[in-house]
DNA sequence: GGCCTTTAGATTGATATCAACGTATCATAC
DNA sequence: GTATGATACGTTGATATCAATCTAAAGGCC
């Protein structure tokens, strides 16, 4: 008797065909490549574009607010900011009201690069939306939001 | 005149609310954390689980087949296999029919770990599906597949 | 056989991701 | 005012991700 030597093949197929984590990771990698390719001429990745655009607001946000918006770990954000700071696209300053906090701001250079990135995003995003059926983009976004 | 100094705020909000790449990345991070947490007791990450289960087939697949199934780069797969090989969960052998190719197989230890992982996956996945409305899981999977 | 193209992977370097742990600051209770 | 806990970040170490580049082997053409 004893436990079976192998996980059943049906389970393998079930996971492969049904796992939402796997499906989302696959789509995430595919979309990342698509946007990375499109943004490469101006030297940005999809994640860097998302991060920069999330900083384009009247009041500079703190680390936690940005991390929450991007649904990423705090420490991931710290690491992601490093190359952008090195390139002079963002600046991180101490918050005078609360010296624990850091305020993240776009520099003029960062804003200028963002202006060049937006039309690339628009074109690339239109291409992605075209893959989906009518009205499915909205439904997809809604379902993805539920998972966060 | 000249170009505007700042990307318009409406664009920022459009990207934040509409970008499918950002939405998928966010959901990918959130689901990754959820499955990583659930699988941590047995020492696996979500990606390692997906990889191991994709190796549970009668005939050991090559690198390209697995990379394609997971929609990841071949070199990413090479790197991902490294810790699994070190732990003795998978074995990589030369393909005698084509000495360029490598055949990836689960070891007995890898199969045993997978057997422990499956019930964790089932429970975690049921929790995720419960977040979505009736029938939305299928639609979500379908839409995500279109993007790969 | 010898040359060329294609195919299958590996390596390197950069960035992304998070857990675990550590530090500095704030807020509150006493 | 000091101790205590909570909050906001940073650092380190491990894995994940991919582009660029490399090697090795197979297949085709002459």
pLDDT at position B23 is: 98
Share of chain A above pLDDT 70, in %: 97
Which position has the token pair 């959901």? B27
Residues with CB under 7 A from strand D: A 25, 29, 32-33, 36-37, 40, 62-64, 74-75, 77-79, 92, 95, 98, 100-102; B 45, 47-48, 71-73, 75-76, 79-80, 82-83, 86, 98-100
Chain B residues 97-116 with a CB less than 8 Å from chain A: 108, 111-112, 114-115
Number of inter-chain CB pairs under 8 A, A vs B = 197
Residues comprising chain A, all counted: 148
Collect all residues of chain B within an 8 Å Cβ-Cβ radius of residue A56. Answer: 6-7, 9, 11-12
- Distance in Å, alpha carbon of B23 to nearest chain A alpha carbon: 6
pLDDT at position B54 is: 95
**Radius of gyration of the CA atoms of chain B, in A:** 20
Per-residue pLDDT, averaged over B99-122, amounts to 95
Closest-CA residue of B relative to A115 is B7
Share of chain A above pLDDT 90, in %: 91
pLDDT at position B89 is: 97
Distances (CA, A) of B24 to A135, B50, B122, B141: 17, 18, 22, 12
pLDDT at position B8 is: 81
Distances (CA, A) of B39 to B13, B45, B125, B127: 36, 6, 12, 14
Per-residue pLDDT, averaged over A45-73, amounts to 96
User: Separation of CA B50 and C1' C28 in angstroms?
Assistant: 48
pLDDT at position A8 is: 80
Concatenated DSSP letters of B24-39: HHHHHHHHHHHHHHHH
pLDDT at position A41 is: 96
| Confidence (pTM) | 0.92
Inter-residue contact A143 to B32 (CB < 8 Å): no
Q: Is A35 on the interface with B (CB under 8 A)?
A: yes
Confidence class of residue B4 from pLDDT cuts 50, 70 and 90? low
Nearest CB to B143 within list A25, A26, A132: A132
Q: Do B27 and A53 touch (CB under 8 A)?
A: no
What the block records as the tokens of B42 is 């047995």
Task: Determine phi and psi for A32, rounding to 5 degrees.
Answer: -60, -45
What pLDDT digit, counting tens, does each position of A79-111 carry? 999 999 999 999 999 999 999 999 999 999 999
Per-residue pLDDT, averaged over B18-29, amounts to 97
Closest-CA residue of A relative to B119 is A11
Task: For residues A138 and B31, give the distance between their C-alpha atoms in angstroms, rounded to a whole number.
Answer: 20
Task: For residues A87 and A134, give the distance between their C-alpha atoms in angstroms, rounded to a whole number.
Answer: 40
Concatenated DSSP letters of chain A: --S-SS--HHHHHHHHHH-HHHHHHHHHHHHHHHHHHHHGGGT--HHHHHHHHHT-SSS--BHHHHHHHHT--HHHHHHHHHHHHHTTSEEEEE-SS-TT-EEEEE-HHHHHHHHHHHHHHHHHHHHHHHHSPTTHHHHHHHHHHHT-
Closest-CA residue of A relative to B73 is A29
């Amino acid at each position: 008797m004893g436990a079976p030597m192998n996980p059943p093949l049906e389970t393998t197929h079930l996971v492969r065909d049904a796992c939402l984590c796997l499906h989302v990771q696959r789509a995430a990698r595919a979309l990342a490549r698509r946007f990375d390719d499109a943004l490469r001429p101006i030297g940005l990745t999809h994640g860097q574009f998302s991060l920069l655009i999330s900083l384009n607001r009247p009041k500079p946000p703190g680390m936690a607010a940005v991390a929450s918006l991007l649904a990423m770990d705090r420490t991931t954000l710290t690491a992601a900011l490093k190359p952008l700071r090195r390139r002079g696209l963002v600046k991180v300053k101490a918050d005078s009201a609360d010296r624990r906090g850091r305020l993240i701001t776009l520099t003029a250079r960062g804003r200028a690069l963002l202006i060049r990135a937006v039309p690339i995003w628009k074109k690339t995003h239109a291409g992605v939306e075209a893959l989906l059926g009518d009205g499915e983009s909205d439904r997809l976004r809604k379902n993805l939001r539920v998972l966060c």
